[in-house]
Chains A and B, each alone.
Chain A
Amino acid sequence: MKIAKGRRLGQSLGLLLGFFGATGIGMTHLIFPGLHCYACPWAISICPIGLAQNLIIFGTVPYYWIGMMVVYGLAAGRGFCGWFCPFGTLNDLLSFRKVKIRDAVSYSKFLVLAATLIGAWLFADTIFCKLCPVASLEASIPYLFMGVAKVNRPFLIHMGTLAVTLVGMVLIARFWCRYLCPMGALLSLFNRVSFLKLRLDKTRCSGCAVCTTECPMGIEPHYQYDNHNCIKCGRCVDSCHLGALSMEVSVKGSE
Chain B
Amino acid sequence: MMRSCPRLSRRLRAIASVLALLGMVAIPLAAQNPILEFSFESDPVTIPQASIRSASLRVENISVHEADNIEIALLSGPIEVTAGELIDVLGAFSDVLLNVPLSADADARIGEALAQFELTYTYCIGDLCFQIVEEVSLGIDVVAALTVPIDGPLPDPIVAKPVVDDGNAWRIVVPLGLGLLLALALIASRWIGRRWWVTLLLVGVLAVGLGYGISLKQDQQAQSIGAVLCTSCVGIEETPHRDPELSDDGQQRVMALTERIELLLFSAPWCHACPYAKELVRQVTELNSLITNQVIDVDEDRDAADRNGIIQSGRTIVPAILRVDTGEVLFGIEDLEERLMTLLEESP
Contact = CB atoms under 8 A, between A and B. Distances in A.
Interface string A131-153: 11001000110010010111011
Given A46-B222, A149-B237, 5 more contacts: A25-B314, A58-B221, A67-B210, A74-B199, A192-B194
Interface of A: 21, 24-29, 31, 37-39, 41-47, 50-51, 54-68, 70-71, 73-74, 107, 110, 114, 117-118, 121-126, 129-132, 135, 139-140, 143, 146, 148-150, 152-155, 157-158, 189-193, 197, 226, 228, 251-255
Contacts of B206: 67, 70-71, 74
B108 interface: no
A122 B64 contact: yes
B226 A129 contact: no
B193 A192 contact: yes
B64 to A, nearest CB: 7
B128 A57 contact: yes
Contacts of A123: 126
| Interface size grouping (class) on chain B | 35 or more
Contacts of A118: 176
Given A70-B209, A191-B191, A192-B191, A62 B223 contact: no
Given A74-B203, A124-B128, A192-B190, A27 B223 contact: yes
B154 interface: no
B238 A152 contact: yes
A46 B225 contact: yes
Contacts, number: 223
Contacts of A66: 21, 25, 205, 209, 213
A158 B219 contact: no
A212 B181 CA distance: 32
30 contacts: A25-B314, A27-B315, A28-B223, A29-B222, A29-B223, A50-B225, A50-B234, A58-B31, A58-B221, A59-B30, A62-B213, A63-B209, A67-B205, A67-B208, A70-B206, A70-B209, A71-B210, A74-B203, A110-B187, A121-B28, A129-B234, A139-B236, A148-B231, A148-B331, A155-B235, A189-B17, A189-B191, A190-B202, A192-B190, A255-B194
B187 A253 contact: no
A180 to B, nearest CB: 15
Contacts of B21: 66
B297 to A, nearest CB: 14
Contact of A60 (B207, B218, B239): B218
> Which one of A38, A43, A67 has the greatest number of beta carbons of chain B within 10 Å?
A67
B186 interface: yes
Nearest to B316: A27
Nearest to A228: B191
Contacts of B191: 189, 191-193, 226, 228
Nearest to B220: A29
A64 B221 CA distance: 10
